[in-house]
A and B are shown apart, each in its own frame.
Chain A
Amino acid sequence: MTLRLSRRFGPWVGNHALEFKWYYLGAFSCLYILQNLQAELPDRIRKLTLIMTDGNLAQGSVWVFVGLAAGILIFRTFSRLLFFYPARVQQKTLRMELLDLLEKVPPDRYHDKSQGQLFQVLFDDINNLRGFIGFGLLQIGNLLIAAWVLIPKLNQTDGYLWPAFIPLFSSVLLFSITTIINQKIFKKMMDKKGEVQQYIIEAYEAKQTIKNFHREENFIQGFVKVSGEELALFYKSAVGFAFTGPYVKLGLGASLLWGGILIKAKGGGPSDLVFFSGFLYLFLEPVMFLSWVAVVVSQGFAAWKRVKELYFLLDKPSESEKEMILSRPIISDSEIQIELKFWDKVLHARIPTHTWSVLVGETGSGKSFLLNRIATTLILKGHKISMVQQEPYLFNDTIGGNIFLGREVTILEEQAAKELLVLFQLDNLADNLDEILKLEVGENGKRLSGGQLKRVALIRSLMSGSDLLIWDDPFSSVDIILERRIVRLIKQNPKWKHFTFIISSHRLTTVRLAEQVIYIEREIGIRTQAPTFEALKEKHVSEFFKEQFVETPLA
């Protein structure tokens, strides 16, 4: 099926209209009937005031008014519902399509987008699109149908009253202009609000640090400043409306007075004035929303452009992705052969399988980069591997949810996960292992320490069902005693001992636990690849670890 996202604006709207044609047909019919019912009121009331004071009231016309009330209730309700439903459903579908795509494609494709920008598209922009096709279409339809029904109706008998609408229409126009201008201030205010929230988030995360260093007063001052700026914008945004909001009421009053003059000049009476007053109200509602229509349409269109921009990024392979696939990686029983672009050279790597290889090199030599590329290339070519980033992410879910990522789990697997929790010393997080699996970790594992978070990610990787594991600096926040215990037990356990591990590290102790060392340099690529004990004899490698060899105590 073609994705809705893949269409251009026109076809997208057209397709949407076709998809929900019966809803929209119903909605427009409801609006048409509604406007006709409402337009009946002023003239009927005019006649009524004349007849009633003459003393002869037709009982039947009471029921006409009750009927009109019921009609307005029903058709107004349904016109709204029929307009909103397709927009809401469309919103959900677009979100799903986008999320599906985001999950599927390599992260390289949206590399330039921050997490905040992705959030903005997936959350706010699609919301605005909904506003555009739901609220926007409703109000445009309402305005057109109101004009279609009301204008001829007034022209028929009382066309001379038109000039009296001028004050009302001009006040609404002014109000619309203010609304549009205010959008800018409003947007600024929302940005500022984001800053205030960011300030609170940061202060929350840093509260312990602020207290450790006794700087509460400085941060209170900082908060008061940014919060004050936001609230000042809030006041500013209100000034325009304070001026033009009541002005609409004034316009309504002025129109009534003007109508009074016109009616008097024509020799009309109070019945004509109440008729005119009724029409003023009928026009007021559709034109009041005129201002919002402009805002909603322009916001909706801008939102569409941003959604499409992201879609284009996701839809096509990125440049780095193209250059990544130089040749098909070969995985044999003894080694992985892979060819990659590394900085400005082509690097051929042959990494032995069923064993531990450790990538070593100066900070900035490109260890993480290389691991990422190996992982991405393999995944793109359909191999099932698992990689743990240097700073992995834990979802706002339970520990179990994070380990299995929504997979159906067998009892055996759960048992294995529990064993790993013990091995990785995460068994003290709660009273028993079942509870630990059910423990909520918060967004980005906020309720765990950095080290605990990483250990959960390592367990996730071991339980992922793939036998090629790539770990970027896995033991950075595990102490060396625990590190040694973990590696030993993994190597002994029949479940994992045949797995292939490619890891990176700074630490001599970690390197000693691996079978093979791959030393990389930015200019050369792989400088040394050898079994650990041999590699450590090489001068540049031992130089690199110099500081970590035991030193003689200082006097």
Chain B
Amino acid sequence: MSVSSLKNNLWRHLWLRSELPLVVFIFFNLVISAVTGYLTPRLITDFYQSLKNDAAFDKHFMWLVLLFTVEYINRFLFQLSSHRYIQLLLVDIRKRSFSLWLKAPFKHKTNKKHDEYPLGEVLARLMNDTDAVREVVGSGSLGIFIDIIFILSCLISFLQLNSTTGLSLFVAEVIACLLLLKGSKAMAKVFMEVRRVTGMMARVVTDLTSGLKELFYSPNPKYASKRGHKIFEEFLDKQLHANIWDASYYAAAESLYPILVAMVMLIVPYAKIVEVAILAALIDLIQKSISPIKEVASKISVLQRAGTGLTRLSEFNESFAQDIYFKQEFGHLTVDKLNFSLRNFQYDQGFKLENVSFELKRGEILGILGESGCGKSTLLKLLSGQYHTFQGTIDIDGKIISPVQDKDLRAFSSYVSLISQDSHVFTETLKFNITLGHDGGFEDFWELAKNNISYLSRWGLDPMEKIDPKSFSMGQKQLLSGLRALFLNKPIILLDEISSGLDSELESAFRDLIKFFQSRSITIIVTHRLETIIKSNRLLLLDKGQLLAQGSHAELQGHPKFNEFMSHL
């Protein structure tokens, strides 16, 4: 993506069309502050001059009172309106980024470690980068415009008060501002470094506190302290480094005032200032302009960071925007016949799955058998429409789906529910966990499920109560996943490895569940359970990515590999 298109995007991100009146209002605030900023130095000089003049004093006093009041009200309104704008802007940006990210399909890489946006990255984009924008407001950095106008009008006033002194001050203040800007940029870098290490430390501390129990029960030479010590040491180092910059930056800004006064002293003999009031006003204005200079210098880096944040956000969005979202079909889909035929599928490098095909009707069960690493999980992933890079066809009731067509494949995926023990359990109510927020018809469903799966009544979970995912066993997690699929009522059900680690009660729950699926769907099960193997209408025996044999339990009896497999059970 070119830089210019990113820039364009940046503006698109900053611009909320619906909030035009607010933008106009903020602009109006800035105009007013330009006017007050322009008037301040003049009126202050007038005030200094009128100290010896009774008639003028009252007038200038009143002018200043008016000016200060207008300035106050204007700043107050500016703060409010700019905050509101940023709030609305962030709501919008976050929503857009989150939904693009969630809707985007997984990149079809073979290994999770290649995930382009791992969790830390998603969090950083959605939270830290929007925080950078928010900081613009928090630090009052939008006031930078007001400050710049104020400094400029001070400089102009210097020129009008006395040209020689004014010009020198003009040059000196611009140089000071540039120097401070350089300093603040370097400082921003150091602070970014501190932030980075702080983030790392947070991660290490989270990691160590999560695993404390493990360390007590596994003999080890002070693993936590060693890792902790390393990161704490680095953190200390970066912080001290940042402190040196921080302390000297502000000290330098403070020392600017006496330096500029010394400069004025050197110039005055040539500048022919004879009036005390003018000199006093000049020096007072120097003092008043120092703080805005300091602010401008330090806040420019905040603005830059916000800019970077927005750029990163739009980059994040761009990378998903290409995956045009396909609207999933809802409602009650049915499939009477599924015909799956795979010629070849291979991961980036390595594992290959070849020549697997089968045909299934509604109400039938297909059992997939094989030792670990035979390709069972890969086959399930292909069947759930997760990879589109395989050669072969899927045929639903005579409708051919070409797996190469992303859109077709995603349409296919809305026919399928995949049930696995890696399924996520939310810290929410059981009802939410089953419906995933789409809760029409839940009560009827729950009654039906309880009647058919007796384990649910014995389990004694109230569907409206919050559940603790940690208290769920692997088997219960998988049962929950099964209930989700049941609620969705999909015509094709995929079940992964349900035989592992179940106690007898859960075993019977799964038997009920499968019976339920069988009554209305095509069911495909990866299994080691003898009972399921016997009940399946058709079995696939896989070995090292090859289909060794297929047929019913009876038909496979003579096959040596099948017998070997069965002997283990």
Contact = CB atoms under 8 A, between A and B. Distances in A.
Nearest to A550: B530
A278 B203 contact: no
A227 B499 contact: no
Interface in A55-84: 55, 57, 61-63, 65-66, 68-70, 72-74, 76-78, 80-81, 84
A180 interface: no
A548 to B, nearest CB: 7
B279 A53 contact: yes
6 contacts: A205-B119, A213-B417, A215-B437, A250-B68, A260-B57, A395-B214
- Top 6 nearest A-B pairs (CB, nearest first) are A476-B501, A218-B437, A242-B79, A206-B424, A80-B247, A405-B220
A443 B211 CA distance: 10
Contacts of A103: 212, 215-216, 222-225
A405 B113 contact: no
Contacts of B102: 203, 207, 210, 216, 219-220
Contact of A270 (B48, B254, B265, B499): B48
B206 interface: yes
Interface in B223-241: 223-229, 232-233, 235-236, 239-240
A539 interface: no
A270 B61 contact: no
A13 interface: no
Given A393-B211, A548-B507, A406 B500 contact: no
A197 interface: yes
A405 B223 contact: yes
Nearest to B502: A506
A106 interface: yes
B219 A393 contact: no
Interface in B264-309: 265-266, 268-269, 273-277, 279-281, 283-284, 287
Which residue, of B47, B202, B216, B481, has the highest number of chain A Cβ atoms within 10 A?
B216
Given A221-B437, A407-B220, A273 B205 contact: no
B122 to A, nearest CB: 6
Contact of B103 (A65, A110, A216, A405): A216
B72 A65 contact: no
Interface stretch (B90-98, B313-321, B389-397, B446-454): B90-98
A357 interface: no
Nearest to A278: B287
Contacts of B204: 396
- Interface class of chain B by DSSP: helix
A551 B531 CA distance: 7
A131 to B, nearest CB: 12
A533 interface: no
B208 interface: yes
A456 to B, nearest CB: 12
A274 interface: yes
A219 B93 CA distance: 16
Interface in B473-517: 473-474, 481, 484-485, 488, 497, 499-505, 507-508
B421 A450 contact: yes
Given A76-B254, A257-B64, A242 B224 contact: no
Contacts of B201: 123
Contact of B217 (A68, A91, A234, A389): A389
B500 A478 contact: yes
Interface string A426-469: 00100000000001101110110111000001001100111000
Interface string A194-206: 0011001111111
Contact of B203 (A84, A211, A443): A443
B501 A507 contact: yes
A105 B213 CA distance: 10
Contacts of A232: 87
A16 interface: no
A281 interface: yes
| B interface, size bucket | 35 or more
A159 interface: no
B265 A62 contact: yes
B137 A238 contact: yes
Which residue, of B47, B255, B280, has the highest number of chain A Cβ atoms within 10 A?
B280
B206 A443 contact: yes
Contact of B225 (A99, A277, A450, A481): A99
B80 A242 contact: yes
Contacts of A480: 499, 528, 568-569
B114 to A, nearest CB: 10
A263 interface: yes
Contacts of B49: 270
A386 B210 contact: no
A206 B242 CA distance: 39
B436 interface: yes
A220 B98 contact: yes
A477 B203 contact: no
Given A50-B276, A88-B240, A242-B83, A100 B95 contact: no
Interface in A359-396: 362-363, 375, 379, 384-389, 391-396
B273 A481 contact: no
A197 B373 contact: no
B485 A506 contact: no
Contacts of B275: 53
Interface in A18-71: 41, 45, 48-50, 52-53, 55, 57, 61-63, 65-66, 68-70
A425 interface: yes
A53 B276 contact: yes
Interface stretch (A114-122, A292-300, A301-309, A347-355): A114-122
Given A242-B76, A242-B79, A219 B212 contact: no
Which residue, of A274, A447, A477, A478, has the highest number of chain B Cβ atoms within 10 A?
A274
Contacts of B259: 65-66, 69
A78 to B, nearest CB: 8
Given A85-B240, A387-B218, A506-B501, A69 B207 contact: no
B225 A57 contact: no
A468 to B, nearest CB: 11
A411 B140 CA distance: 59
Nearest to B105: A211
A464 B437 contact: no
Given A92-B236, A197-B123, A61 B284 contact: no
B279 A49 contact: yes
B179 interface: no
A446 B210 CA distance: 13
A106 B212 CA distance: 9
A239 B79 CA distance: 8
Nearest to A408: B221
A496 interface: no
Given A84-B243, A106-B216, A464-B219, A213 B273 contact: no
Which residue, of B224, B281, B436, B497, has the highest number of chain A Cβ atoms within 10 A?
B436
Which residue, of A389, A391, A506, has the highest number of chain B Cβ atoms within 10 A?
A506
Interface in A217-265: 218-224, 227-228, 231-232, 234-235, 238-239, 241-243, 245-247, 249-250, 253-254, 257, 260-261, 263-264
Contacts of B98: 200, 203, 220, 223-224, 227
A202 B427 contact: yes
B76 A389 contact: no
A493 interface: no
Given A257-B64, A264-B51, A506 B265 contact: no
B247 A49 contact: no
B106 interface: yes
A89 interface: yes
A425 B373 contact: yes
A144 interface: no
Nearest to A218: B437
A406 B215 CA distance: 11
B414 A214 contact: yes
Given A197-B123, A207-B102, A461-B218, A277 B287 contact: yes
Given A241-B79, A393-B211, A480-B568, A52 B273 contact: yes
